[in-house]
Structure 1
Amino acid sequence: MTGALSGMAFVLSSPSALPQASNAEDASGQQAFNNACRTCHIMREGDNRLGPNLHKVIGRKAGSLPEYAFSSAMKEAGFVWDEEKLDRFIANPEEVVPGNNMKPYGGLSSSEDRKKIIAFLAQAR
């Protein structure tokens, strides 16, 4: 009986490893977002700060959030945010949209942190 119980405990504990890993990845992405972005941005829809909210930013036309006063450079950027564009922008905003209002933020060099942030932003789709 003890073997059956320990086997059952193993089976019951194994699936929980996946949600914990996912939670760890979520926490890691949120931490990277908090460290690099949260000074100016938030994920809550309709809650703009110094920067626009980033709720459902992936798939949104750059500079198009109606309740935020974007720079003319961002309004005229002419693209839709996707993961590749976000990666390039987070790395070097001025290179992607010259004349944007992200200063003094100059970019995030860590590709790993950018990947975590983009995964965190993608959760809001």
Structure 2
Amino acid sequence: MISNMIHATAANAAGRITAPALLAILVPFAGLFYPVSGAAQEADGQRLFQQRCATCHSMEPGQRKMGPQLLGIVGRTAGSVEGANYSGAMQSSGIVWDRQSLDTFLTAPRQMIRGTRMTVSIPDAAQRAAIIDYLESQSPD
């Protein structure tokens, strides 16, 4: 199948496959064989965190913004950062944050915890995964 696709799209007038045309076809498949490194994924997660989350949340201990600091969020009980301004719904949720609960929450915060003050959702699953990977990679130690 790929061979037919290559010949149909990469052959020049003489019926020969040109190198630039072959590269244009094969490069998109390279990611299947060479997955993105963990460092690259973490950098992407950090970038997405800065773009999507950092307006309201910090990764610095003790630094408060509109939302609580998120350093060490994985394994922490929701609504438990001392001094943060949580909704009653968040404080009484009983959630212990893990990968699945963060994914569900970031998909639709107000559907998971009615009454939360969190308004930002991240509908793209790959972006959510990258942000969660970044959050998991950060620890208070």
TM-score between the two structures when normalised by the length of structure 2: 0.70
For 1:113, the equivalent position in structure 2 comes to: 127
The separation in 1 between residues aligned to 2:125 and 2:76, in whole angstroms, is 22
For 1:124, the equivalent position in structure 2 comes to: 138
Identity %: 35
Runs of 4 or more, structure 1, over 3 Å off, are none
Q: Which amino acid aligns with 1:25?
A: Q
Q: Which has the larger radius of gyration?
A: 2
Q: CA deviation at 1:46?
A: 1.1
Per-residue CA deviations over 1:72-116 (Å, capped at 9, x if unaligned) read 01000011001100001011000111100113x2x1110000000
Task: State the number of aligned residues.
Answer: 104
Per-residue CA deviations over 1:19-74 (Å, capped at 9, x if unaligned) read x9333222111011112111101111111101100010010000011121211010
Among 21, 31, 35, the residue aligned to 2:51:
35
Among 57, 67, 80, the residue aligned to 1:64:
80
Q: Pairwise CA RMSD of aligned residues? A: 1.4
Asked if structure 1 preserves the Cα contact closer than 8 Å seen for 2:67 and 2:85, the reply is no
Per-residue CA deviations over 1:2-32 (Å, capped at 9, x if unaligned) read xxxxxxxxxxxxxxxxxx9333222111011
Q: Which amino acid aligns with 1:117?
A: I
The separation in 2 between residues aligned to 1:25 and 1:70, in whole angstroms, is 30
TM-score between the two structures when normalised by the length of structure 1: 0.78
Unaligned runs of 5+ in 2: 1-35
